[in-house]
Amino acid sequence: MTHQSRTVLLAGGVGGARLGHGLQAHLGDRLTVVVNTGDDLERHGLLVSPDHDTVMYTLAGIDNPDWGWGIEGETFAAAEMLERYGEEGWFRLGDRDLATHIVRTARVRAGERLTAVCLDLQRALGVRAAILPMTDAPVRTEVLTEDGWLEFQEYFVHRHQAPTVSDLRFSGIDAAAATPEVVEAVAASELLVIAPSNPFVSVRPILAVTGIEAAIQAARARAVPVVAVSGIVGGKAIKGPADRMLVSLGHESSALGVARLYTGVADVFVLDAVDEALAPAVEALGLRTVVTDTIMADDAGRARLASAVLAATSLG
């Protein structure tokens, strides 16, 4: 695997954004990120795409590293005024972030494809990689809890991931299809990577879009490797509710539990050195393993993990 190879990353959330940032440092415009849009929502009449925007801001170098979302140095004057007007304040949009949603919403409502709008936003921010929505069609992740079915952001932000998740579904998925850009990126790829994102609410929606997993399997059939990176280290999620979801949905909260979810899709599995003892069990699933430091605490950590991922296919 050379750094001139074309790489496609399937991603959502902070883990996906950080690995994308590291890969972009090595690959520049030879990286394409296919991003989950199941987390999207309408807020104050605006179309908000949290996973896309987290990846975009991170790859543009303007993200807030302390929050894991939003823009560094963000202010919330508009959100505060909205709350004075009686609007709910549990999902706050920053002042500069609002500009992204205003432009996206206006152009999509005018009939433009979501993909085209997102690519223009990225270019305006100087992002070198291409970040592609998994589909142009609206898909919304919903989780089943003791309180019934909840929209994802209601569960994730408003209820602070507190309810136990017993099932999930993707509203609109039957009408959603992979975009030509996504299909073409996978077809031209020499490496496919599954980010250390939540396997249920970040990666599964992408794979559920008609045409995406078929394109991945076609790439595998022509010997393009798929490398999956564990977002579970020492039995715990680096960020978010993935560890609790693994248990509540009937799986093991471990790197091995994640590896089991990717059998039949991935060829190589990257796990943290903390979990090295699990490598033989992962290999028994038919996956080659790479054991490395997967913690991306800073830019150097992101680039280091990206380098290990890029080198993974030359091993063994």
Q: In the predicted model, what is the mean pLDDT of residues 65-87? A: 93
Interacting residues of 192 by C-beta distance below 8 A, sequence separation 6+:
7, 8, 10, 186, 216, 219, 224, 225, 226, 227
Q: Residue 259 in contact with residue 285, Cβ under 8 Å?
A: yes
Q: How sure is the predictor about 310, in pLDDT bands with cuts at 50, 70 and 90? A: very high
What pLDDT is stored for residue 316 in this prediction? 32
Alpha-carbon gap, residue 139 to 159, rounded angstroms = 21
Q: In the predicted model, what is the mean pLDDT of residues 270-296? A: 97
CB atoms within 10 A of CB 27: 23
pLDDT in tens, 224-257: 999 999 999 999 998 889 999 999 999 999 999 9
What pLDDT is stored for residue 193 in this prediction? 98
What pLDDT is stored for residue 282 in this prediction? 98
Does the structure show a pLDDT above 80 at 277?
yes
pLDDT in tens, 90-128: 999 999 999 999 999 999 999 999 999 999 999 999 999
Alpha-carbon gap, residue 128 to 24, rounded angstroms = 7
Q: Residue 9 in contact with residue 20, Cβ under 8 Å?
A: yes
**Structural domains for the chain:** 7-62+127-312 (3.40.50.10680)
Q: How sure is the predictor about 3, in pLDDT bands with cuts at 50, 70 and 90? A: very low
pLDDT in tens, 17-60: 999 999 999 999 999 999 999 999 999 999 999 999 999 999 99
Beta bridge pairs of residue 71: 63
Q: In the predicted model, what is the mean pLDDT of residues 214-231? A: 97
Does the structure show a pLDDT above 70 at 2?
no
Does the structure show a pLDDT above 50 at 85?
yes
pLDDT > 90 fraction of the chain, expressed in percent and rounded: 93
Does the structure show a pLDDT above 70 at 314?
no
